[in-house]
Amino acid sequence: MSEGQKQIILTGDRPTGRLHLGHYVGSLKRRVELQNSGKFDEINILIADDQALTDNADNPGKIRENIINVVLDYLSVGLDPEKTTICVQSALPALHALTFYYLNLVTTARLSRNPTVKAEIQMRGFADEGLPAGFFTYPVSQAADITAFDATVVPVGEDQLPMIEQTREIVEKFNKTYGETLVLPKAMIPENETQRRLPGVDGKAKMSKSLGNCIYLSDDAKTVKKQVNGKMFTDPQHLRIEDPGHTEGNVVFTYLDALCTDEHFVRYLPDYANLEEMKEHYRRGGLGDGTTKKFLISVLNDILDPIRTVRAHWENDIDTVYDIIQTGTAKAVERTNATLARVRKAMRINYFEDRSIVKEWERLLREAKQ
């Protein structure tokens, strides 16, 4: 199939809050690199507002508010609307139709096995309160998002691997049932292990908007300092500077693993050539948390400063931002409608594409009479 040969990216985010460092290392940074590599025929980024409603049905205002925050974060990190289509999920009707068809190709038993969804159900208290069917089935809607764009590559954090696996199963089932129609996508996760799932400042498993343990891309320098100095989990056994310390599970070092380069040492901490040397000193004893945190703050601001500058520009031009997502969404409507037409044809439910079915029905009626 010709679409299969094109290199197409689809990825996105739920507009449930501003984007944070976890998003940056897990997905955003990669997106910008891929965008600028020139190796892709199409890059599509979806603001998944419908998916965000599956666990925020009582608070659509929160989603509405965060659409602008997420787009500003995109533009600030260097996503370029000339090269990348930014679109809003709820305005793409083809996605709803595809979801409806795909729901018939998965079992509830299969959906129950998704480890990410299982963890999220616990985290959101749905195990006690009752589980919204929409939330339970959101991996199916994600399969619709990915396949609607004929995506071959999906750059995401590690927590999304079960979603891509589920999508691949749906694609295989669809193609087996209705003939080769959908493109089989591949997940692309960061090579750096720490970047795949950045923990929160509190050391909890994942930095997450819903857990309130984030450093946001839009945080100012004062807030970053407060988060690092006030909240960041280090090594509880490292009481005096001369004590030997642990770097494993120490969030300051985890963040440095994900973010710092040798260049940062040249600039901000020339006592060490690289992170390994600094870690060795910490493990030996004699290196205090004050120094490690100060270095981390410098690294963070080094990364965040250019993002803040671009953000300030776009914040003053929300009219243009509106045009960007309106244009992107209009393009995505066409794109995804074309896939839906292909799907309906494969499923033989394209009744109103032309009148050929009239002849078919007439023939069937004739045959039934014979």
CB 198 within 8 A of CB 21: yes
Write the binding mask 212 to 251 for ligand ATP: x where contact by CB under 6 A, - elsewhere.
----------------------------------------
Looking at 7, 175, 210, 291, which residue binds ligand ATP (CB under 6 A)?
A: 210
Q: Site for ligand ATP (CB under 6 A): which residue of 18, 23, 31, 264?
A: 23
CA angle 316, 319, 323 (to 5 degrees): 135
From the CB of 160, what's the least distance to ligand ATP, in Å?
4
| Secondary structure (DSSP) of 23-72 | HIIIIIHHHHHHHHHT--SEEEEEE-HHHHHTT-TT-HHHHHHHHHHHHH
Does 22 interact with ligand ATP (rule: CB under 6 A)? yes
Q: Which range, of 140-148, 165-173, 206-214, 346-354, touches ligand ATP by CB under 6 A?
A: 206-214
Shorter beta-carbon distance to ligand ATP: residue 206 or 279: 206
Binding of residue 197 to ligand ATP (CB under 6 A): yes
Give the one residue of 142, 160, 227, 254 binding ligand ATP; rule: CB under 6 A: 160
In the complex, minimum distance from the CB of residue 305 to ligand ATP, in angstroms, rounded to a whole number: 21
The rounded distance, in Å, linking the Cα atoms of 122 and 127 is 6
Burial zone of 134 (CB within 10 Å; 0-12 exposed, 13-18 middle, 19+ buried): middle
We find the least distance from the C-beta atom of residue 28 to ligand ATP, in angstroms, to be: 8
Let me know: does 228 contact 219? Beta carbons within 8 Å: no
**Whole-angstrom Cα distance, residue 10 to residue 17?**
20
Of the residues 87, 198, 228, 340, which one makes contact with ligand ATP according to CB under 6 A: 198
**What single-letter DSSP state applies at residue 230?**
I
Strands (E), the chain: 8-13, 42-47, 85-88, 153-155, 186-188
Binding site for ligand ATP (CB under 6 A): 13-14, 16, 22-23, 25-27, 156-157, 159-160, 197-198, 206-210
